[in-house]
Chain A
Amino acid sequence: MSYISEQTGLARIPTVLVKLHLDYCQNTFGQSPCAAAGVPCYYTYPTCKDKAHYLRGSKDYRFCAQAGPLRTDALPHLAQLAMVPTEIKADQHLTRVGEISLEFYDELPLPLANPDKTVGNPESGGTFWRNLLARNPNYRGRPAEIWQSFLGLAESEARLCFKGLITNIAVSEGRATVTVQDYLKKLEVKIPAQQSSENVLTAAYSGGAELLVSDASEFASASPGQPGLVKIEDETNGSEYVSYTGRSLSDNKLTGCQGGRFGTVSVSHPAGAQVSNAVVWAEDNGVDGLALDEIFLDLLTAYAGISVLDLAVVDLGATLGAAAGSSDSSLDCLGLEDFPPAGVFRIEDEVIRYAGKSSGMAFGVVDEEAGPQDGQHSLDQGAGVEQWHFVRFQTGPGDTALDRVRLQLMRDGFLAGSITLYLYSDQAGNPGAQLARLGQKDLSLVGVSGSRDLIWSRHLSLTPSTAYWLGYKLRVTAGLAEIFHALKVSPLATEFKHARSDAGPFTAIAGLPLFAVETSAGSYETLTGCKRGAYGSDAAAHSAGVAVQLLEVSDEVSRWLASARYRRFLEKPVAIKDLLRELRQSTLAHVWQGEDSRIHLKCAPVPFFRDPPKSLTDAENLVHQSVSADQNEEARQTRVTVYYDPLNADPGADPEQYRAALLHLDQEVESENYYGEIRNYEIFSPWIYRSLEALNAAAHFLLRFRYGAPLLTFGLELKDADLGVGDFVRVSTDLVQAPAGAPRLQALYEVVKKKPLGPNRFEYQALEAAGGGLNRYAVIAPDSYTADYDDYGDDAHAKYAWVSDANAQVGADADPGYCIS
């Protein structure tokens, strides 16, 4: 019995567990180091009698439903749970913060105020919640969690369904209501902090390491790892950005200063010049911007105070290939194929930014099979000749699978044809039965005048401690060049043979290694330039085999905005949520806290997915009388104007404050035959400084909203509740129909809201993701897709793209063509 089996079962008993994490002193009253005496405190700071020795910790207050099954580790006070759901407002680039209202029954207090402490007070009055509130007036901002499970499941099966911050506790007669909001609530903080206008230089500054100001406490605390930034306003000599790494409050100075930052010139400024907090996201030359993931992570972790561990990660199957120390800057990993060239990843509770990823490296794999080193062997290749080469390898006692085979090849001129790899059994020292075909590669992939790896990735089960043969066949159709296979590095002895034809005798090749056989251990690739303990996480040592997970924001940015850069100069206090809104508008990104309580970012809401979206139908999924469709006409736009490259910091929504504007429109939808009107959407972007990013924003937005953004509301039962906000979903309902009158099958939507309406019913709102079926996004298909559109089915049509005709249509049925996003 598991969470999934219960959730998808027909009848079940859900349970809920609420945890409130309130501050709690870790010392014991009156016992060293606590020197308090008299009536014991309640182990909270407001009730503490020896504040010098207060040791802040946390205590979990656990609650289950009053009507639910009895638990001895939770108080059955929970009366009901009401949710204001997270909602992505895609057309407004906003996300409504998720909020849960927990209503509890109040009752007599516990027999002891602090039953877990050896010194405490017996309860003599009040009620549970009133007492709790009186002793914890500083509850605001403390975390709360809501866990869901089913009766009969172990606690380890429970799932965290909401994690947030307590923002209010209200008590009434017999009840208490606790309001919890998700972590995006932290984005309401304004940066940079406003300082007094009288905060000025108290001595002239000419670029030294110390900068004297009227009141250093008004400037943000800083460290070498997280320097602060101020701007010296100087109309005469020119304003200057100065970074600092520390503050001395006793003598009002900023230390570790470095002038001339972000493109400003280091000059002398007189005493009396105003000094103000500033934030800049740009390279130090003040010209080049930063990647979106760098900015996003900086905003959320350094400024909003959100733990980087609360950000969503993507598991691409990568693992640490070898144990890593806490200061290693290069990490050997397995399965990095889908990792971008640079980005941010997480190992256990450490987050690491890496600057590069090795490729084509020498093999250092224990399961590699090769022979002597650093030689090459000409295959004496000629056009039209088939040539077989074989290598024997022995699986170790722990090898249960083969995952990849690498073959390093080089040619010295033009060759056309293919190379196909097979797995054979061993029969008396020669290749026996063919067991599997691992795949075919085009010879054009073979490097010219330089060796290049060809990799066959295929998982095959193998028997441990057994001999196998790998064989490859060359089929050369044109060209006269020779082809070479080069050496790999391995001490393991093995045996190599080739045959002139299928029927020819096997001839041993002395000392010429061919293959690298990678069992489930795989071959290492290396992430280089690693900045350990990034974004406030703690650098730590890690064992081989632990998961290496890419941060979702890096995954998204590398896919959609790999070369895009953004910059921002900020000199007036702005709420982080507003900065994020500007960024989202500039990149068409969505940000929300998911049901996994992780913060997600999806770059361009193009319907691209690794796994096929969930499919919903009237018969099997959609709850009776729950479906409605709204054309959401207000969201439709026909053109987009992007104002970019601001003249100054904080340009606002004034076109005059921008150097450039970009207009992007769709003539067809504006024509009289279509909508016959112009709807212009304006984007004022302080973050965009190049036309490339301006066009990117405009094109993405128009593609998404040129046909409107119809909203579909529907209800699902608990069994389908794995569908979450931000997911794509295919819906077939008679409420959404095609021109011929039949339901428009598999219409694609993006879930923007999910609201529980009861223990087993959820109301969803989803945004049409493909322009009513008119937008089909092009994704390049694998090599194996060589036939025309009509030769493939709906799944392939949905996943990949075909070139359209002059009318932007594909196939015999003249289906809509594909858009390049």
Chain B
Amino acid sequence: MSVNAKPIIAWNNQVIAAALTVSTEAPGYPRQNLQDWRPYLAWQGTGSAEQWLTLDAGAGAAIAATCLGLAGHDLASQGVTGVALKYSDNDADWSDCLPAFTPASDRTLLKIFPAQTHRYFKLVIPAGYAAPPRLGVWFLGGALPFPVYPELGFDPDGRVKETEAQVSRGGNLLGVVERFTRLEFKVGFRHLAPAWCETVWKPFFTAAALLPFFWAWDLTNHSEQVYLVRLLKPELNLPYQAGSWRSLDLNLEGLAE
């Protein structure tokens, strides 16, 4: 096992605002569903050929990205292999952002690659899938790496199950149902530099406190533990500690997959 990576937040989704074109789209599953952050509203292609989704920042503009995130998809179930993310400045000559990859599951995934700033980006799903794949959230944007490790006691597997049980008049357990399971965990950071708080966290909070974001607590050793989460209680709270450090406590909630 490698040395743990520090947590990372992937935010500022460039897919939302760019012009999006797709190879095909099934009725009821338009490409616009990829631009609203809702994993249950999905794009889906048709046919059996290669599917591609292209972003165009527009003339004279560019998209800066270092993270690729996918959620609400069934790529693994459909047997998709060799997913590629490419960039271009002329919509003709394409280069790879990162090596082609094969999703191991239908869970949320996040890939980091060297920062690229270009007018065009393209996600390519090669032919060979069982059925046209579905994709709910396509994230392409920036990363917010935390400069420190989470405080001791962080539990990345936090799950809350809300259940209801019934007991008979004779004292027997009659049955239990689960109302729902949600991902909920707390993570604290100490010894944050005030400058990081000012230049990184506050802009993030101002721009995206109400939006979902991708969370990976250790992308090196636990790449499967990536979640689409939100701040359960959006509040800017960075209390000072001894030594002029600041601290940050996050309460995150997301869909348990």
Which residues of A are in contact with B by a Cβ distance under 8 Å? 9-14, 65, 67-72, 74-76, 108, 110-112, 115-118, 122, 617-627, 715, 717-720, 733, 758-761
Contacts and interface: CB of A to CB of B under 8 A. Distances in A.
A12 B174 CA distance: 12
B177 A11 contact: yes
Given A620-B170, A622-B168, A627-B169, A760 B30 contact: no
Contact of A112 (B32, B169, B175): B32
Given A76-B40, A761-B166, A11 B175 contact: yes
Interface size class of B (residues with CB under 8 A): 35 or more
Contacts of B29: 115
B174 A115 contact: no
Nearest to B163: A11
Contacts of B177: 11-14, 718, 759-760
9 contacts: A67-B180, A74-B40, A75-B41, A115-B30, A117-B27, A118-B27, A620-B170, A624-B167, A760-B176
Interface in B1-54: 27-30, 32-33, 35-36, 39-42
Interface in B123-176: 134, 136, 162, 164-176
A72 B175 CA distance: 29
Contacts of B168: 618-624, 717
B255 A70 contact: yes
A116 B175 CA distance: 42
Interface of B: 27-30, 32-33, 35-36, 39-42, 72, 134, 136, 162, 164-180, 182, 255
B167 A111 contact: no
B32 A67 contact: no
A111 B35 contact: yes
A618 B170 contact: yes
Given A111-B35, A619-B170, A624-B167, A718 B180 contact: no
Max chain B C-beta neighbours (<10 A), residue from A12, A69, A74, A624: A624
B30 A623 contact: no
B32 A108 contact: no
B32 A617 contact: no
Given A75-B40, A110-B41, A10 B180 contact: no
A620 B168 CA distance: 6
A10 B173 contact: yes
Contacts of B164: 758-761
Max chain B C-beta neighbours (<10 A), residue from A10, A72, A617: A72
B67 to A, nearest CB: 22
B146 to A, nearest CB: 28
A115 B40 contact: no
A157 to B, nearest CB: 17
Nearest to B31: A111
Given A70-B39, A718-B177, A111 B32 contact: yes
Nearest to A151: B178
A12 B166 CA distance: 13
B115 to A, nearest CB: 29
B29 to A, nearest CB: 7
Contact of B170 (A71, A122, A617, A759): A617
Nearest to A9: B175
A72 B180 contact: no
A618 B72 CA distance: 46
Given A10-B176, A11-B175, A761-B166, A71 B40 contact: yes
A74 B28 CA distance: 12
Contacts of B36: 108, 110-111
A116 B30 CA distance: 8
A467 B40 CA distance: 62
Contact of B174 (A65, A68, A75, A623): A623
B30 A72 contact: no
Nearest to B177: A760
A618 B169 contact: yes
Nearest to B175: A717
Given A72-B42, A111-B36, A116-B27, A717 B174 contact: yes
B174 A719 contact: yes
Given A71-B40, A761-B164, A624 B175 contact: no
A741 B235 CA distance: 64
A74 B166 CA distance: 30
B254 to A, nearest CB: 11
A87 B136 CA distance: 43
B74 to A, nearest CB: 8
Nearest to A118: B27
B119 to A, nearest CB: 23
Smallest CB-CB A-B distances: 6 pairs? A619-B170, A111-B32, A67-B180, A717-B174, A618-B169, A760-B177
Contacts of A110: 33, 36, 41
A620 B179 CA distance: 23
Contacts of B169: 618-619, 622-627, 733
A10 B28 contact: no
A348 B35 CA distance: 45
A13 to B, nearest CB: 4
A70 B40 contact: yes
A71 B170 CA distance: 39
Nearest to B161: A13
Given A70-B40, A618-B170, A620-B168, A111 B30 contact: yes
A108 B162 CA distance: 27
Contacts of B134: 72
